[in-house]
Amino acid sequence: MRGAVFAILAVIFLFFTFIAGVGCGLLISGEDALSSGDKVAVLKIEDVILDDQAYLDSITSIKNDSRIKARVLRIESPGGAVGPSQELYSELKQLGEEKPVVASIGNVGASGGYYIACAAEKIYANPGAITGSIGVVAQFVSYEKLLEWAMVDVEVIKSGEFKDIGSPFREMTEKDREYIQGLIDNVYVQFKDAVGESRGLDAAQMDKVADGKIYTGAQAKELGLVDELGTINDAVDYASEAAGIKGEPGLVYYPKKKSQLMELLQSKVEIPGITGFPSKASFGLFYLVDIIN
């Protein structure tokens, strides 16, 4: 009799241990581990794009999940650095060769954000969304006059004429400006080519829309920069239909947000009076629109 009681207690203990393990796994990973059926992945591209690693990791996860039949890009970004914008565009283009990729522009999807949207087979935008801004910008600051005022001398030893180009310690020369302009013109042509190819616009049409102007979603549709006016739900419905999903699809959001437990475990104590510094410099060329100062 005692042995039977112990056996029952052991089974109950193992059952609750299993449930606790599943619960902890869900808390730690943030995954809907119990879900099943066909899925639509929603990749949220937000804010200024300087580091694309989290998005690249998400694309890899999406590729490897056989349940995901379609992908929707939810773009809320004014753009960012040229390199990450181009890299995401290229990766998403490849992703679209396997399964449908549809873009949805919410409040803003401009410059590099619009560049990335062009990787989709269809672009939705809200009528009042801000998009377009097809162009390149590089900004430099000079402290030369301030250093003169402060009577501070800075010496730079370099290996070539352009090695310290963009330095804040000296005024830019005409040759410097010509050199930087050449770089900007080159990546500008790359931007125009990508948009023209993806949107089916010829050179004359591209010259009309690629002057750095921003457009509302409604204006962008008239210019051929977006396909449909609609919400993210419209984009999900189209992606589901294009993928042949029957019924209501489950949505899986990327990049995965950390659970409150993981955020607590990985949180750092801030010391009052001490501020952090950016982990990466933001020097470079940008597909970026400055809508709000």
Enzyme catalytic residues: 111, 163
Of 183, 186, 138, 168, residue with least CA distance to 288: 138
Structure tokens at 150: 């402060």
* Residue 178, SS3 per DSSP: helix
Positive or negative: CA dihedral 131, 136, 102, 55: negative
Instruction: Say which amino acid occupies 161.
Output: E
Burial classification of residue 113, based on how many CB atoms lie within 10 Å of its CB (0-12 exposed, 13-18 middle, 19 or more buried): buried
The Cα 107–Cα 99 span in angstroms is 26
Alpha helix (H) residue ranges in 129-231:
144-149, 174-199, 203-209, 217-223
Task: Give the DSSP per-residue string, 211-280.
Answer: SS-EEEHHHHHHHTS-SEE--HHHHHHHHHHHTT--SPPEEEEESPPPPHHHHHHH--PPPTT-----SS
Residue 4 is given by DSSP the state: H
Question: How far is residue 181 CA from its own chain's centroid?
Answer: 26
